[in-house]
Amino acid sequence: MARLPEGTLMQRAAAGLAAAVLDLLGSAYGRRVLLLVGSGDNGGDALFAGALLARRGVAVEAWLLSSRAHEGGLAALLRAGGRRVDRPSRRPEVVLDGIVGIGGRGGLRSEAADALKLLHGVPVVAVDAPSGVDVDTGEVDGDHVEAAVTVTFGTRKVCHLVDPAAQACGAVHLVDIGLTLPEPAVEALQPEDVAALLPRPGLESQKYARGVVGVRAGSAEYPGAALLSVSGANTGLCGMVRYVGEEAVAHTVREQHPEVVGAGRVQAWVVGSGGGEHAGDELRAALEHGVPVVADADALSHVEPGQAAVLTPHAGELAAMLDEERDDVEARPLHFARLAAERYDAVVLLKGRRTVIARPDGRTRVNTTGPSWLATAGAGDVLGGLVGALLAAGLPAYDAASVGAWLHGAAATLASDGGPITASEVALAVPEVVREVLG
């Protein structure tokens, strides 16, 4: 801001906002837009965007929810033909949320909450972040905006990635306004990042050099867990998969996956899915090999700090591990994933709509791939196998968990094609996703 003429960044932001509103409306002349304006710079962004829209023939009204408003922005709006109102004169077609900026904390004040209730059902475009969410944690406490579109500037913020706030953002549109940015608190891998991290065989590779993953999962009661864990591991990401378990289950695994072999040397273990009462014994047996372990499902209740490389709980399992309530974990996934990673000295992959992957030192990634259809039985078993294969292939635990989650979600999107899927179909789609990513 010190290097640029005053107001330059705000004008760039306003131009991006106006373009997003017009894109949502589909046309300009005669359309109706209402600005909900607070006292901060977000209110200024909204007012200058309103001025640009008014010049295009949009009927723009500004409802000021504070005794203070950005003077330059309000003057620009009035000069362009916009109006200041105490309440909208007509029902708008789009609301532009400039109530609270990225420094806001807690829910909305009563005046703003009442205004939103009056406008219920009208699509909202949020300026930088939906007002009322916690931008830095992704948490929600009280009334907040539910946006159809969020236009943010420079970079995505934590609230755009982490639930529950991410659910309030709608489609997130990023506008580059020329900011110099610090290192991010949270990352989200993109396809080019995954391509750079994926292990791939060289010309001289052989199956053992590519890594061998062992799976200790399933039981007579839950044989499907073994099949699905092996399916995730056996997607070609490493050189070999070994299965160790009850003979009847192992026979079923070999029937479905004839390339899978039995006990022997491995570079990583996947333990726990469907293991039932034997999961603790299987975990102890895996730990004896001194290689990285992915602990999932039934093994999570037996794992001690420093034992496993990757833990893959859902919210209920993590709540039990931390002696917390599930509702609290779901309300604060970023906080509790980081807490568990530090407490258990392991990478924690907290499964959810937006899966959070945290390291013990606090570094965090959020996975944004995957359709809602991925909430299906056995999907977590496949994910554990994927992560184990990537560990065996040589990726560090943080990268293996992050890339595994990304591939898992992308494969689900490919397999789903907009409709229902099963966990088995997710595993089958992984090789095609890898081919597309590596291009």
- Please state the residue numbers annotated as binding site for AMP: 351-355, 380
- The bridge status of strand 124-127 relative to strand 94-98 is parallel
Which residue's structure tokens are 């009462």? 277
Residue 2 lies in a domain: no
Read off the pLDDT of residues 295-341 as tens digits, 9 standing for 90 and up.
999 999 999 999 999 999 999 999 999 999 999 999 999 999 999 99
- For residue 1, is it within any domain? no
Q: What is the pLDDT of residues 7-29, one digit of tens each?
A: 678 888 899 999 999 999 999 99
pLDDT tens track for 209-261: 999 999 999 999 999 999 999 999 999 999 999 999 999 999 999 999 999 99
The whole domain housing 347 covers: 191-438
Q: What is the pLDDT of residue 431?
A: 97
* Binding site feature residues: 225, 274, 314, 351-355, 380-381
Q: Round to whole Å and give the CA distance between 436 and 439.
A: 5
pLDDT in tens, 147-173: 999 999 989 999 999 999 999 999 999
Domain co-membership, 223 together with 173: no
Same domain, 218 and 363: yes
At 35, the amino acid letter reads L
Show the CA angle centred on residue 390, arms to residues 333 and 422, nearest 5°: 65
The total number of structural domains that make up the chain: 2
Query: Mind listing the pLDDT tens digit for each residue in 92-125?
Result: 999 999 999 887 777 899 999 999 999 999 999 9
Among 204, 370, 393, which Cα is nearest to 294's? 393
| Domain end marker among 132, 147, 182 | 182
Residue 390 tokens read as 């990537």
Whether 278 and 348 map to the same domain: the answer is yes
pLDDT of residue 6: 65
* Residue positions forming the annotated binding site for (6S)-NADPHX: 225, 274, 314, 381
CATH of the domain at 19: 3.40.50.10260
Tokens at 416, concatenated:
């789903």
| Residues above pLDDT 70, as percent of the chain | 98
Same domain, 228 and 136: no
- pLDDT, one tens digit per residue, over 28-50 is 999 999 999 998 888 999 999 99
Same domain, 159 and 281: no
115, 92: one domain: yes
